[in-house]
Structures are given as C-alpha cells and as structure tokens.
Amino acid sequence: MSGMDEQKKKAEAWDREDPLSRFREEFYLTEGQIYLDGNSLGLLSKRAEKEVFHTLGSWRKHGVDGWTGGESPWFTLSERLGAMTAPLVGADAQEVVATGSTTVNLHQLLATFYRPEGSRTRILADALNFPSDIYAMQSHIRLHGLDPSEHLIRVTSEDGHTLNEETIIEAMTDEVALVVLSAVLYRSGQLLDMERLTRAARERGIRIGWDLCHSIGAVPHRLTEWGADFAFWCNYKYLNSGPGGVGGLFVHQRHHGRIPGLAGWFGSDKAVQFDMAHRFTPAADAGAFQIGTPHVLSLAPLQGSLELFHEAGMERIREKSLRLTRFLMELVETQLAGLGFAIVNPRDDARRGGHVALAHQEAVRIAHALKDHGVIPDFRSPDIVRLAPVALYNSYLDVWEAVRRLKRIMEEKDYERFEKKRGVVA
C-alpha cells in the first residue's frame, strides 16, 4: 500500500472517531467541493440561517416593538451576544460586546486608549500586520498632531513570515504608549505568545490590545486572566457569522467606567439611554464602547453560530484544528516534496493558529487551479496559499482529498492554464 493510501485510511479512521463530526451536517457544504477558506469567510450554518429568519419574523410581527419585545429584544442583543462570545476569549460576560467591525472597533479603542503623554508617544505594532489595522493606527497618531513615520514602530520579521516575541519585548521601550498586535498573523498563521507579551507590556507600564480576527473561534484565549487592556475582532472568519457580520470587542474590567474616545447613544447606560439627556452616561461595562444603533440583521447569524461553538467546546475545536493542520503539513511534506512548496507557518502546536501557509512561486495560479478543481483556498500576495481546514465542518478526508487534487495539479502542471493575475477577490 502506498503512503497516500495509508494516509487515507488514517484520515477515515480519525473521521470515524471524531467527536465533532456531527457538526458538519449543521453547515451548507457544496457537494464535491472542499472549502478551506473558513479563515476568510466561514460557511453558513443552518442555525445562523434560522436566526436570520427569526429576526425577520420578529420585525414582521412586532415592528418597532421588536426593540423591547419578542423573544430576543434587539435593544440588548449586542450585550447578550457579547456574553455568549466571552468564553471564546476568556473574559467575563460584561467585558465583551458584539458591535462594529474590526477596523471601527480598533478606531474606538485607539481613541480611548492611545494617550501619548510625555515621552511615551509611540504605538508599537509589527511589519506583518493587516493594512487596515496599520491605517487606523496611523490616523490616530496624526489626530494627535504626530508623525506616523516616527511614532508608529513596526517590529520587523527576520524570515518575512513570523515574528520573534523576544524582539517585540525588546522594542517595548519607555517611548511606547501602546502595543497593538494580532494574536494570529493573517498570512503565516503564527500564533503569538499572548500571555507572555501581555505580561511584558504590563510590567513596563504599557497598554496592550489584541486583534483576534484570526484567532477567535480557532484558538482559546484567557484575556481577563492575562490582563490585556482590550481586544477586537471580526466574526465572519472562524465564527461563521456571514459577510460583513458584526464584530466584537473586549475591554478589561479595570477600565470599565472610562469615557469612550468615540461616544454614541448606544454606549449609554441602558437605564437612562431613552431619557435623551445631552449629558452622556456610559454603560458600566464594555457596552459603553458601542456607538450607534446595532446592525440587528447582521448580528442575527452570530447567535446561531455561537450556539454551535458552545455545543462543540473551544478546547475540542482547538484539538481537532491542530490535528487537521498537523495532518495537512504531513501530507504536504510527504506528497508534495520537490514540487516547490515551503511551509511558512510555525510547526510547533503552541505557535500555530488555524491555517497552514504554503509559499510557492506560482501561488496565484495554483490558487486558481485549486478552485477549478473544487478546492477553495485563498491567496495572499505575493506568494502564499492559505489552507484552513476548519474543525466544525472539515473532515480529515477533506484534507487528504485536497492534497490529492493539489498533487495532480502540480504533477500535470495544470496551473499553467491560468493567468498569473489575482482576481479582485482572490
């Protein structure tokens, strides 16, 4: 029996004993297709769909009274979904609220927590971060009348893919007012040591905030215990809340009562919001950091999706996710050897998020060819194919089959049929 056949048997055996296998039926999967792009846009689940219809039904039935009546009043929906999200980030219910989007929430948190004072004027970030986060940081530096080229420090990467925690800590000097980092880097999938970095920042009197876009729903967190000042994320990647779905934020309880940098009436103490006073009374919890009326229809899918996470349990999800990506790396190494791929995510379980990042000179065309063969990856410029087998809806056999198709594409040079250009989205 060839290695590939043995690996298939192993995948089938793992699928049979997988405690999460029943969740696959909760999602809409396309027959014949292997979806490995759940770190960009998670798939629709039946529960999420049900909640959208539920919400439309409430609107139809209750009209304006849906804000305070019906089964799930919209007035407090963001707080309820925040409480449901809290276990995924290791927070108390009142420290989390479902609101805004990644970038908007980062703006809110920078407006609140970036306070250049004396010689502490700089924001410490990294050279591998997502552009939107960088733009937000640059704009707040400018709003303080400072120059981003001087006040935004970006820790560089030695290998172009990963960051060294030691180097980040060395950069936490007494000129730094705030650190903003991603828990999992969006390209390489490196998981930073959040606990260590948070402790190091706090020991130096520096505030620290975390972008959890690529870690929430893939990796467990303990934000309250670690003492992170704030965190923010989108819910449409591993949390499957749909395109443009509402995001979330965490503010540590030691900061509750603080006036948000960007105030709006939905950040009010709920008891007095409808007094319509011109004096702002912020909510006593993370709810204070909301701005305007919640996007109720875009919040609805999150509720259904979070139910699935509660049933599955974050620890089991992480365990399966690690096993899926470990298996994927084993297949890449054994089946795609000599075909020009380099695995650029860290190998170590403790340093790996939910996806595998493969560098290849022909990455764009390979991504196109994979799609043509029913495997949905994503491409990140200039040369990375990201493959994210998701614990709730992918099987071990999916991983095996994806590599089998990729191997054929490479051996037959099928990718040469495609243009070396990325589409608007890919």
For ligand PLP, the closer of residues 87 and 247 by Cβ is 247
Q: Is position 130 annotated in a ligand binding site?
A: yes
Region of residue 266 (left: phi > 0; alpha: psi -120 to 50; beta: else): alpha
> CA 194 to CA 291: how far, in whole Å?
28
Diameter of the chain by CA atoms? 76
Active site residue 316: no
Closer residue to ligand PLP, CB minimum distance, 103 or 164: 103
- In the complex with ligand PLP, the residue whose CB is nearer, 137 or 336, is 137
Question: According to the annotation, is 148 in a ligand binding site?
Answer: no
Separation in Å, CA 131 to CA 125, 136, 180, 236: 11, 9, 13, 18
Q: Which is nearer to ligand PLP, 130 or 280 (CB)?
A: 130
Which pairing describes strands 230-233 and 248-251: parallel, antiparallel, or unpaired? antiparallel
285 is annotated as contributing to ligand binding:
no
Q: Kindly state the smallest distance separating residue 125's Cβ from ligand PLP, in Å.
A: 11
Q: Contact at 8 Å (CB) between 305 and 239?
A: yes
**Catalytic: which of 236, 266, 327, 415?**
236
Cis amide bond preceding 382, omega within 30: yes
Residues pairing with 117 in the sheet? 120
What is each CA distance from 86 to 80, 275, 305, 310, in whole angstroms?
10, 30, 14, 11
Alpha helix segments (H runs only) across 121-212: 131-143, 148-151, 165-170, 194-203
| 59 assigned ligand-binding residue | no
- The catalytic position among 37, 211, 285, 378 is 211
Cα–Cα distances in angstroms (integers) from residue 183 to residues 60, 85, 126, 174, 321, in the given order: 41, 17, 12, 23, 16
What minimum distance in Å lies between the beta carbon of 132 and ligand PLP? 5
Known active-site residue 236? yes
Q: 74 among the known binding-site residues?
A: no
Q: How far is the CB of 306 from ligand PLP (least distance, A)?
A: 18
In the block, tokens 């105030």 appear at 263
Residue number, 23 or 186, with CB nearest to ligand PLP: 186
Residue type, position 126, single letter: D
Minimum CB–partner distance for residue 100 and ligand PLP (Å): 8
The residue ranges that bind ligand PLP (CB under 6 A) are 101-103, 130, 132-133, 182, 186, 211, 213-214, 234
- 236 annotated to bind ligand: yes
For the beta carbon of residue 416, count every other beta carbon within 10 angstroms.
Answer: 11
Rank residues 43 and 213 by Cβ distance to ligand PLP and give the closer one. 213
The whole-angstrom separation of Cα 324 and Cα 393 is 11
The dihedral built from the CA positions of residue 392, 222, 353 and 129, taken in this order, carries a sign that is positive
- Known catalytic residue at 352: no
Say which of 10, 15, 92, 130 is annotated catalytic: 130
Shortest Cβ 381–ligand PLP spacing (Å): 14
H helix intervals, 281-353: 296-312, 314-335
In whole angstroms, give the CA distance from residue 18 to residue 319.
Answer: 11
Catalytic, out of 47, 122, 207, 237:
237
Say whether 386 is catalytic: yes
Q: With DSSP H G I counted as helix, E B as strand and the rest as coil, what are the percentages for the chain, rounded to 5?
A: 45, 15, 40
CB of 420 to ligand PLP, least distance (A): 25
The single residue of 386, 393, 398, 405 carrying the catalytic annotation is: 386
Decide whether 103 or 157 has the Cβ nearer to ligand PLP.
Answer: 103
Q: Between 179 and 331, whose beta carbon lies closer to ligand PLP?
A: 179
Residue 298 CB, shortest distance to ligand PLP, in Å, is 12
DSSP 8-state secondary structure symbol assigned to residue 348? S
Single out the residue of 408, 418, 405, 340 nearest to residue 33, CA to CA: 405
> What Rg value do the Cα atoms of the chain yield, rounded?
22
Task: Give yes or no: 230 in active site.
Answer: no
Q: Known binder of ligand: residue 103?
A: yes
Tokens for 393? 């809806």
Q: Known binder of ligand: residue 214?
A: yes
Q: How far is the CB of 234 from ligand PLP (least distance, A)?
A: 4
Catalytic residues: 130, 211, 236-237, 386
Binding residues for pyridoxal 5'-phosphate: 102-103, 130-133, 211, 214, 236, 265, 293
Binding residues: 102-103, 130-133, 211, 214, 236, 265, 293
